[in-house]
Each structure stands twice: as structure tokens, then as C-alpha cells.
Structure 1
Amino acid sequence: MQSLLASPYCPLYCRASSFPRASVVRSPSPGEGARLRSRSPFIFKIIGSLSHCGKDSIVEELAQDDLVNAVELSQWENGKSINGIAASQGIRIRRHCRPGAPLEEIEEELGAPRNILEKIIWAKEVEVAEGHAKKPMEEVIEAAKNAPPVRDFFGALGSAFKRNGVPALIAEVKKASPSRGVLRENFNPVEIAQAYEKNGAACLSILTDEKFFQGSFENLEKVRNSGVKCPLLCKEFVIDKWQIYYARSKGADAILLIAAVLPDLDIKYFLRICKELGMTALIEVHDEREMERVLKISGVQLIGINNRSLETFVVDTSNTKMLLEKHGDTIREKRILVVGESGLFNPDDVAYVQNAGVSAVLVGESLVKQDDPGRAISGLFGKELLH
């Protein structure tokens, strides 16, 4: 456990030590301390191991509300590995948590990555470790504080849906993908973003993964500084809070969190960070178990249903209909806005997911591959969008 706590690249119990010191600024009173101990003795084990950050740990703050339940905390206490915890929640993507180890050594222990998503996540662990080394956490947090003001991503989607009567568009600035290769050779992220906005996109999604999607945080920053007014989603494979602060420092207004990768406690922790920064979290699900997990988490505003399996890359738009038929009532009760993702190429596709219950769509490939990505929006919806 101590070795895990020392690592900045694994889940919550590893990351709490570097959380900014704004959350809890006082020690609990004797009565409060007793209450917290009754909630979870493990909380105090963690805090005791993080003596250099005192009582203002994010873990202590989580213990004082209902964000974390006792069952989850007992899993950490009982010494389950990150992969054991993930597997208990139906997550099939494994983590190696060894960013400094040679890939051959990792594969000798775990075998080769079992699918493209796992391959991406293993590479992301190394990338995030390198990011920490180049730009320490404290520096990234300070840069996030000085970033341009946050724009209302969630509000922009709701307004566009009401304005046009069709799902609000999150148009994706995307050069390539592992399954399709290069989508656009002549790729200018600023020109594409401006064309999307001019033709009615409510928000923009900027791919920042370099190795597999040929994106970059530089593209995100360029678009933010280009005069584009649409709120921006950082489309990244988030496994560490460093990425969220770094995205905010580059001008992101929203961040993607993938339930197929992140255990519940990580999602809750990242939601808390997003709330502190004023950002929106788009939580992506692919199947019924992921949807059930996410709907049990408080504070969720935006759920994306990805019709593409990130393990097999097979697309099936009926996935959206199936999940919303089963969980639509709960989603409406919680006033969650649903985003349809993948497999959307024409007005019939958009109408299908709208009838299923989505209020927004995230579309990249079918737009960015066109000669004029902006004008392609009217072809996608069958009409011009107001903006």
C-alpha cells in the first residue's frame, strides 16, 4: 500500500497527496474526528501516510460527505490492486502502473495489451508520467488558475437543442484514428474549428492524444486562442488529475472521462476536480453495466453513449436506443443530458438517436473527411443550424 500511495500515476489513493490545498483548511474537531473514523478507519490510514500534506487532503473531504461509500473505501483498505478493483466493477481494461518499466518487462508480467484501448491506456501511463516530470503538478495547477475563463459547455448544448429542435452538435477536430488512419491530410485545426462554429456547432471537441490520433494540446490551445467562442471539450484518455488541470491550462471547458477505463472512485474524484475548476465532465459509457455505474454517481450532468466498442471498434447505433429504453426514466429524473457518439453520418442517423432520447451528438469522422467540414453540418442534419 505504501508503494501505491507514493505513486502519482495510479488512482485516488495514490493521488491525494498532491491535491491543491484549497479543499479542507482545518482539522476536524474531536466529535468530527470520531464521526469520520466511524465512516471509514481507512481514511485516517491514508491521511496518516500523507503527513506532509496535513489534514487538508482531498481524501478527508470525501469522508465528510456522501461522495464515497464505505464499500469502495473498504476495497482500498483490503488491499485490492487497481486491476482487482476495476475488474470488480466490470472494467476489462488493465493498468500496469509502472511508467518507468520497459514495455517488454510489463508484457512479461501482464501479457500483451488485449485490445486497442488497453494499448492506448498503457501508453498513456508513460505519457502522463513524462508530463509530470516536465511540468510538475503545482505548476500545472497554477497555470490552470491563470487560464482563460471557463465557458458553459453544458449550457451551450441545452441552448442549441432548444434553438434548433435537433440534437446540439459537438463537432470534433480530429485528424486520425487507430481504426481509420488519417482522416484528413490537409489538417488545419483552427480553420476546421472556425468552419464548424460558423455553421452552427454548439461546442467543439479537440483530440489531444498524439500517439494514436495525431492530436495535441497545442491544437487545443490554438483553437482557444483563435477567436472561436464555442466551448471546448478536451478529448483525451484521462487516467490522472494532472491531465485535467493541464487541459484547463490550455483552455479546455470540458473533459472526457471514460467509464470503461476509470473505477467509480476515480470518476467521483475527477468530477470533484472538474467542479472546482468550473469544467463540465462528459462521462462516456458503452454498455449497460457502465451506464448503471455512472447513474449511481452524484453530480453527473452529461453522459455520452458511444456506439463504438473501444475494444473491438465495431459500431452499432442501436446501442443508444437499448440503453435509453432501459435507463431513460432515471436519466430524465436526474436531468442528465445525453450525447450520442459514433456511427452518425446522415439525417436518418441523427433522427434515430434523437428519437431514442439524446439531446446532443458528437460527430467527427463524417464531417472532417468532407472537402468543407463546416458545410457538411447541414448535410448531417438535413438543414442549416442556427447559432
Structure 2
Amino acid sequence: MLLSYYTAYEWVYSVWSEYSNDDVYAPQFRKKEVLYNDSMLQVLPRESNEYYYWKGELKARTGNQLEAQQAYEKALLGLAVNTRLYACVTCGLAFAHKRQGNFREYEKYLILSSISDNTCPLKENLSMQELAIFLYETSDQELEKANRYLNYSMEDAMFYNNRLRMLEIARKFPSIVSSYQQKSNDKSERLTRAICFISLLSLLLAVSIFYIYRQMQQLGKQRKAVTHMNNQLTELNNELLRTNHIREEYVSLFLDLCAAYIDKLNRYQDLVKRKVKAKQTEDLAKLANNKMSENDAKHFFVNFDTTFLTLYPNFIKEFNALLREGEEIIPQKGEILNTELRIFALVRLGIKDSSRIATLLFYSPQTIYNYRTAVRNRARDRESFEEKVKQLCPTIDESK
């Protein structure tokens, strides 16, 4: 229990010397404070963070600030910011740098210590008090911040009735408050001048409004000209819409022709089967090459995919936006569109009937129905999914 014993006495004499703050008793208390500080080092584990911290304290109290700084820096290694020891070490480092004239480092470590004090939190804000005084002494622009920091420290000290901290703050408070009040008075004076200036501007504004009113009359004629131009633009827009609809009609017609041709080939295939069964070889020879080959089908798909994406380059992106996240449909490497995308590309072109789609894509109507149902189940809004597909990739924004 020696460590607890020495720690208690070191703390008592440290705070006692701060509280007395005179030339009679304070020096005696500081001597005992240093004595118990040295005793602590005899029982603390060597190479520990606590050991280096109290070594730094001893060096600082005996006047060797460089060695104190070095010990504090060793103590800081590996410490978390939300620990009491981190706040103490950074506070000690700040004062060691201050005594060596390194005020930039002094400010830096005061800020780190204040952050740690408020992270723990223990409502022990010595670092914030010192930071407030430093800001007050070094920058007129930081008076408001210094006043806020000091008020914050006072509230914490009053929270747990720390008379020592309240006494320290009471010594520092008047000068900061006085400067802050003077700054507030200066601000009020500037505000008064600003109000006078704004009043003058208001008068000028009234004159300007009258002038603007006269100008508005002249702008009326220009508005008429702009309205005429807008009407012309509306007509052009309508013409573009008509052109877009005509284009879609042509594409639909093209696909209808393709569907009819494929259907015709399928009928030829049925006819061939009948001829084979009837052993009508002469008739069969005439029909031998009428069936669309697999290469022809692939060629048709490539042409369709290329033509469709040329007309609607953003179709895949906008289509996937209608699906739930993670359910997007992406063509594999080497594909332009896959089966699901082709089905809904045809839906976008106005072909809703599954049998027509099946004819175009060489599937059965049931297979097409199954594909459509599976994709619809992946949609964000299943009920209105296909209606939204029909509205994808508008060439002209019809809402304008």
C-alpha cells in the first residue's frame, strides 16, 4: 500500500501549496510534495507510463524542464485520450514547453489535455483555465472563446464545489470579463454606426426602386419578345416529340415484321415435319433451307440489341434503377443485352403480349411469362413496374 500512501500525501501537499499560494507555507508544502513524489518513484514499476509521468513531475518541480519534457513524452506513448493519465501527461508537457519558451507546443498540449478532460469526463478543467488565459493574452480575436472556456471551467468547479479551482478562476476571471465587456461595447458602437449606414442605404434603395419601376416598363416590351420566342421553342419541342413518336412507331413496325417472318419460318418448320412424315421428299427439298439457323438468330439479336441501345443508350441504367438494390440485371461479358433485358426492351417499345415477345425471342409464351414474373418480383414497385418500364428513356422531357 506504499504507492497509495505516497500518492495521497503527494496530492495533499500539492493542492495545499496551490491553495495557500504564499511565501511562508507554500514553499514548505512544495518541499514535502517533491519528497513524496520521489518516494512514489521508488515503488512504481519501472518503464511504466505512470513511472515516467511522475519522473517528469519531479524533474519539472526541481527545475529541469528538458528532462521533464523527455519523461512526459515517454509517459504519453500508448496512452488513450479518454484516460485521466493522458490529460495529466499532456498538461505536464504543456507547462514544460512553456517554461522553455515553446508557446506553440504549450498551446497544442493544453488543447489535447482539455480534450481529454472533457472526454473522460471528470469535470477537472485546469488545462482549459490555462488555455483561456493563454488565448486572452495572445489574441484579441479570441476573447469570446477565452471567456466561454473560463465560464465552462467555473461551472464544473461549482458542480462539485472545488474551492481551489473556484479561487483560481476568481483570480483570472475579472481581467477576461473586463476585456470581453470592452469588446462587446466596441461591437455595440459598430452596430450603431452600421444602423445609421443602413438607414442611408434604405433611402438610396427607395430611389433605386423608383428607377427600377421605370425600367420595368421598358422591360415589358422585351418580355413580349421573349414570350414569342418561348412559343416558338414550344412548337419546336412538340415537333421533336412527334418525331420521337414516329421513330418509335417505325421501330415497332420493324419488330412486327420480324415477328411475322419468324412466325412464317416456324410454320415452314411444321410443314417440313409433315412432309417428312408423309415422305414427300420432293416437296421437302424445296423447303429444306427455310428454317432460320442459330447463327441467323444470333445475328438478329445483335442487330436488335445494337439498334435498341443506340436509340435508348441509358436503358440498362434506368431499368436497374426500378429494381431493388442488389437485384440489378447486368449483361455478362460478350453480351449486349440478355434475355430479361430484351424482353423488357420489347415492352419499352410497346410490345406487351407474351406470345409476340416469345415469337421474337424464340421462346415459348410460358417461358416469357415466367421471365416477366421473376423480374417483376425483383422490382421496387411490383404493381406499376411494367408501366414505368414503358416510360424509360424519354427522348424529350414531356413535362417541360
TM-score range, shorter chain: under 0.3
* More strand as a share of residues: 1
**What is the TM-score when the length of structure 2 is the normalising length?**
0.22
**What is the TM-score when the length of structure 1 is the normalising length?**
0.22
Higher CA-based Rg = 2
